[in-house]
């Protein structure tokens, strides 16, 4: 059964100001083999990246082509522009050619189920699409996040569990803090905010609008839920601003069961 490497690239905007660590490319190896990542044909990071591992390469603003190789196969390469203070994520997956995955949803391990269950929560994603997972620590080393993502018909749904290494207040001051963090870079415009409780846990709900990489208008709805002094869950949905995703959001957010 033939398998081949494919890659996905997207931008995450951050607030910042040459190569001071604020402009960077994250490389994610979501295959079962060791990979060597490259920018403009030159190796990056400190060496090969193990399966399900990742590395980060600080760069200067400019135009780059990212690629990866396992020694036998090399990805086609993706060219992108990166401005000061931005972070680009370059992911490499394996596609099984006997069961092709729709473009933009090509994953190393995929399944045709929408229910995601783990030790932290249960949730039902829209449709019967693939559920992608990833994890990583923040730059300061004060927290580690575990994320689940799925999409259908241009609607993207996410659940992130963040474990922090210090106690935080289990109230709206913490949930508002996380909501405010997503507004700090100025790219998101908040349209609505409210607070409440989900299964006894305080949360802040924030709906924001922003412009995507292709210039299209997008919206994101997020609940920032404080589960405990050291655990936070973010559940969010992104769609085209022209699309009424309210019903999908309601179904998604109310399917979340915190364990």
CA distance 194 to 176: 10
Q: Write the pLDDT tens digit of every residue in 43-66.
A: 998 889 888 888 888 888 888 888
When pLDDT is cut at 50, 70 and 90, the band that residue 3 belongs to is very low
When pLDDT is cut at 50, 70 and 90, the band that residue 67 belongs to is confident
Q: What does the pLDDT average to over 197-208?
A: 96
Q: What does the pLDDT average to over 119-132?
A: 77
- Report CA-CA distances (Å) from 207 to 27, 154, 191, 228: 29, 17, 6, 23
Flag whether pLDDT at 108 surpasses 70.
no
Q: Are strands 24-29 and 86-96 parallel, antiparallel or unpaired?
A: parallel
Q: What does the pLDDT average to over 197-217?
A: 91
More confident residue, 32 or 207: 207
Domains, in order of start, for the chain: 3-108 (2.60.40), 136-258 (3.40.1000.10)
Q: Write the pLDDT tens digit of every residue in 244-256.
A: 999 999 999 999 9
pLDDT of res. 92: 77
Burial class for 139, CB neighbours closer than 10 Å (0-12, 13-18, 19+): exposed
User: CA 16, 19, 24 angle in degrees (round to 5)?
Assistant: 70
* Residue 223 neighbours by CB distance under 10 Å: 23
Q: Write the pLDDT tens digit of every residue in 171-198.
A: 999 999 999 999 988 889 999 999 999 9
Q: What is the DSSP string of 126-164?
A: STT---EEEEEE-TTSSEEEEEEEEEETTEEEEEEEEEE
When pLDDT is cut at 50, 70 and 90, the band that residue 110 belongs to is very low
């Amino acid at each position: 059964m033939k398998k081949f490497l494919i890659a996905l690239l997207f931008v995450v905007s951050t607030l910042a100001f040459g190569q001071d660590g604020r402009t960077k490319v994250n490389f994610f190896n979501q295959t079962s083999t060791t990979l060597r990542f490259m920018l403009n044909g030159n190796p990056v990071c400190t060496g090969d990246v193990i399966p399900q591992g990742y590395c980060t390469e600080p760069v200067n603003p400019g135009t780059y082509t990212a690629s990866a190789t396992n020694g036998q196969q090399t990805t086609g390469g993706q060219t992108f522009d990166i401005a000061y203070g931005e972070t680009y994520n370059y992911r490499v997956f394996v596609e099984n050619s006997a069961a092709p995955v729709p473009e933009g949803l090509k994953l190393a391990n995929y399944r045709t189920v929408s229910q995601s269950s783990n030790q932290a929560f249960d949730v039902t994603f829209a449709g019967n699409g693939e559920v992608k997972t990833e994890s990583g620590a923040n730059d300061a080393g004060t927290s580690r996040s575990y994320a689940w993502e799925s999409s259908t018909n241009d609607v993207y749904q996410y659940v992130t569990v963040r474990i922090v290494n210090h106690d935080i207040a289990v109230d709206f001051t913490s949930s508002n803090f996380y909501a405010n963090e997503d507004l700090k870079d100025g790219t998101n415009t908040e349209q609505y905010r409210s607070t409440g409780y989900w299964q006894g846990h305080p949360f802040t709900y924030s709906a924001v609008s922003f412009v995507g990489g292709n210039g299209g208008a997008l919206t994101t709805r997020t609940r920032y839920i404080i589960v405990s002094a050291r655990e936070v869950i973010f559940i969010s949905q992104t769609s085209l601003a022209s699309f009424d995703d309210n019903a999908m959001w309601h179904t998604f957010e109310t399917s979340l069961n915190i364990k």
